Chain A
Amino acid sequence: MSAHAENLTHDDAHGHDGHGALAENNFLGLPNIKLAMWAFLGSECMFFGSLIGTYFFYHGNSLSGPLPKDVFSIGITSISTFLLLMSSVTMALAVDSMKQQKPSTARNFILATALLGATFVGFQVLEFHEFYTEKHLVFAGPNASLFGSTFYTMTGFHGTHVTVGVIWLVIMSILIQKKKLVPGKEAVNVEVMGLYWHFVDIVWIVIFTFVYLLEFLK
């Protein structure tokens, strides 16, 4: 062993928390899954950036109505935004409970998060329905407008992400119930779910601020 390796013997080179027997590299000391989620969220930033960018690239280009100011009702969307933000609180509590070895509390918070998320999606479905039937904002077909196509696509993809999150949360609660997901080393899975959930919330904050609220500032 050379001087260059004096602090780096084979036995302590790959330290594993409690599972020291397995030879598996972990250079940064971070769980792979967490690193992967951060990289994925970077990718998602580009995805939503492109969708929101498309919306603003076309903002004011619509040749036919209605216009954003005609359809948005800030009051109702504020309520659903508030519910989604509260779901971030329950998500954070779920992550915390899992870390404190309280899986059943974590499961309850996860289900609460899923419920709040599902309510948000429900609001979105109602909003889309109202925009389409009463405000005549059309997504596709002969009566479609650029505002309709860009708005429904952008918010629809956000809603899809929330829906995927809700399904993920439900699956996670089932796994905790069945004791296939237990505190300790696997708590990181809940934390990673939380990263995704908070990200989806942040995207909504951006959309709500720039797409909805700014419309009324001018």
Chain B
Amino acid sequence: MASIADFAAAQKPIYHQERPSKTGLLDWLTTVDHKKIGILYGGAGLFWLLVGGLEALLFRIQLAKPDQHIFVGDTFNGLVTMHATTMVFLAVMPMIAGFSNYFVPLMIGARDVAFPRMNAFSWWTFFAGSLTINASLLFCGAFPAAGWTGYAPLTTKDFGGTPIDFWWAGLTLLAVSSMVAGVNFVVTILNLRAPGMTLMRVPVLTWMMLVIQFLLAFSFPPVAVGLILLAFDRTFGTVFYSTGMGGDPHLWQHLFWLFGHPEVYVLILPSMGIVSEILPVFTRRPLFGHHAVIFSGVFIGFVGFGVWGHHMFTAGMGPIADAAFASTTAIVAIPTGVKIFNWLGTLWNSKMTFPTAMLFAVSFIPMFTLGGLSGMMHASPPLDLQQHDTYFVVAHFHYVLVGGALQGLFAGFYFYMPKISGKLLNETLGKIHFWVFLAGFNITFFPMHLLGNHGMPRRIYTYPADAGWNTENLIATSGVFLMTFATLTFVYNLITSLKNGKDAGSDPWDANTLEWMTSSPPPVHNFDFTPVVLSERPLWDHKYTPGFEIPVPEKAEEIHMPSPSWKPMWVSASAGVIIVGLLTFNGIAGIPGWPLCIVGAIGVVLSVYAWVTEPV
């Protein structure tokens, strides 16, 4: 029987050119290696996950008891706004980008992404954006406080303070980063597949990554336009969101949610992909309805562009629009249900093992389903009118995003970290993490369903003692401490396992897909030879199905790996200078900032010229 040990016999590839060797910090600053960029994204995502969690902890302490005055007014609003902005854009999205960077090329048998320097540009632009959003605390002593949805005219100069400038500036940089990354990965997945990997042989996780890259590329432009109009209003005094001049508050809502709803599918689809990869490995059978799972993911991506109006049922769009968006929203339940039943079909009557990765993956299914069911209630306009802006909605999207997206990502960490670090995570700590997190998560968010039904609105900093909301709020806050403890256990586990973890070997889970055929961590060139893909589960079939062995070529391959480059960072920095110029356009202390825009634009042109003429 064939085994992955066969691959060790392969000739090492011959590098087409010498790689200039840089070590240490310089290497990380100039890297174009998708694996290093993936680690940068993942590390940043984890860091901001802790920051966003801390923000939540603070405002949950404020809400634990009635009539408290610890974080009041704009301080509270700032914490809520930054909790959501941080979790969506700076925690979950970069973690997804981390997985997609690290594993998409490995899963499709490629040596890197299609445009490695563009990939580095995406990372540095994300980095600049993440700092910009949070810089308002440094420069204004306050966070943006208009909610993560930033409804204009609430964010215009008349109503929103200076921190909003940092918010639009940071989000604009993140939008650029995501659109560029989207284009890059669409090309990578479509064109850099190993020979034989037809679309139906592409792993489900990579498929979901392909869908979200299209969503990123096509859904960020509308919000970018919304942000640009907001920036113009605040900087130059245009009148887009000025109701006194005939402007309509619906405009921002349409532009934002035309992005915002595809965005929530960007957050959930990768976790669905991770679960679809993990369940087959630990049930030791193929994914039930493999193709149906892929097609329903694609369908969710398409429908995602036609449902944004369900966020606006209370905004007064009229009965026709309400009815149309209610129908399209209800349709989303079909592909989602297809996925859920296929996962259940995979589990049904199988011999499962339960390492932590599998625990998180299995618990994803009911938790996500609970969030999905309350989501279906919001598809109905009359019900939604009752639930809009109450804690019921908060409960809904936390079940989907924490019980769904975040649990899926945790599963991914336990499953994939051995490939990244070469070390297994500690299972005992992992199980503590899982059970405490699951308990804490449900203790926090389940009572919010009741709070919402009892009429507690979102985004209020306190409530009177006789409103009847005291018990549920206290329970919810106590759950946050459990989640905090669980997450810190996870971080401790990650860090200590890097040193003390058991050696993982190439294929610790006896897995199905190509990333497990190379060493852990993989070499710079990923694979010693380009694998030929013969089935949906190439590595499984190599090991267990005679006749499907992945052939090892006798000749060493000649390869070309891209050289490290400063240029991506130059372009990002120049874009950052333009943003600083816009932020200070009208001057600070009498010194106008607008010349910085010109400096930045020249910087972009020069560094792009240096980029295209640089030998790779």
Contacts and interface: CB of A to CB of B under 8 A. Distances in A.
Interface of A: 1-5, 8-10, 13-14, 21-28, 30, 32, 35-36, 39-40, 42-44, 46-47, 49-51, 54, 57-58, 61-64, 139-142, 144-146, 149-150, 153, 167, 171, 175, 180
A43 B179 contact: yes
Contacts of A1: 551
Contacts of B226: 50
Contacts of B240: 54, 58, 146, 149-150, 153
Given A9-B551, A10-B530, 18 more contacts: A4-B547, A10-B532, A13-B195, A22-B560, A23-B529, A25-B191, A25-B195, A27-B197, A39-B183, A39-B186, A40-B217, A42-B217, A43-B182, A46-B222, A54-B225, A61-B246, A144-B245, A153-B228
B237 A39 contact: no
B192 A25 contact: yes
A28 B190 contact: yes
Contacts of A149: 232, 238-240
Nearest to A5: B534
21 contacts: A4-B534, A8-B532, A10-B529, A13-B195, A22-B558, A23-B529, A35-B187, A36-B184, A39-B182, A42-B217, A43-B220, A50-B221, A51-B225, A54-B229, A57-B248, A61-B246, A61-B248, A63-B245, A146-B239, A146-B246, A153-B229
Given A2-B548, A4-B534, A39-B183, A23 B13 contact: yes
B73 interface: no
Given A43-B218, A139-B238, A23 B114 contact: no
Given A2-B549, A36-B184, A140 B236 contact: yes
A167 B220 CA distance: 25
B605 A46 contact: no
B269 interface: no
A149 B231 CA distance: 12
A27 B219 CA distance: 27
A140 B238 contact: yes
Contacts of A63: 245-246
B246 A25 contact: no
B553 interface: yes
A185 to B, nearest CB: 14
A150 B613 CA distance: 38
Interface string B180-224: 001110110011111111000000000000000010011111101
A139 B236 contact: yes
A157 B225 CA distance: 10
Interface of B: 13, 16, 108-111, 114-115, 179, 182-184, 186-187, 190-197, 214, 217-222, 224-226, 228-229, 232, 236-240, 245-248, 250-251, 254-255, 258, 529-530, 532, 534-535, 547-549, 551, 553, 557-560, 605, 608-609, 612-613
Contact of B605 (A30, A167, A180): A167
**5 cross-chain pairs, A with B, having the tightest CB-CB distances, nearest first:** A13-B195, A47-B221, A50-B225, A46-B221, A149-B238
Nearest to A37: B183
Contacts of A36: 114-115, 183-184, 186-187
Contact of A10 (B220, B232, B251, B553): B553
Nearest to B550: A5
Contact of A44 (B108, B193, B221, B232): B221
A171 B195 contact: no
Contacts of A22: 16, 558-560
Interface centre among B187, B190, B196 (most CB of A within 10 A): B187
Contacts of A44: 221
A35 B186 CA distance: 9
Nearest to B114: A32
A70 B510 CA distance: 73
A4 B613 CA distance: 43
Contact of A32 (B187, B194, B258, B529): B187
B222 to A, nearest CB: 4
Contacts of B214: 39
A132 to B, nearest CB: 13
B255 A50 contact: yes
Given A23-B559, A28-B190, A167-B605, A43 B217 contact: yes
Contact of B221 (A32, A43, A150): A43
Contacts of A141: 236-237
A58 B251 contact: yes
A54 B251 contact: yes
Given A27-B190, A27-B192, A180 B613 contact: yes
Given A22-B559, A50-B222, A30 B191 contact: yes
A144 B238 CA distance: 7
Nearest to B105: A25
Contact of B246 (A9, A30, A40, A62): A62
A61 B190 contact: no
A25 B245 contact: no
Given A46-B219, A149-B232, A5 B551 contact: yes
A57 B183 contact: no
Contacts of A25: 108-111, 191-195, 530
A131 to B, nearest CB: 15
Nearest to A43: B217
A27 B245 contact: no
A171 B612 contact: yes
Nearest to A15: B195
A109 to B, nearest CB: 20
A25 B605 CA distance: 31
Given A46-B222, A63-B246, A146-B246, A13 B530 contact: yes
Contacts of A139: 236, 238
Contacts of B196: 5, 8, 13
A139 B549 CA distance: 66
A34 B490 CA distance: 43
A144 B237 contact: yes
Contacts of A13: 195-196, 530, 532
A54 B532 CA distance: 49
A192 B271 CA distance: 35
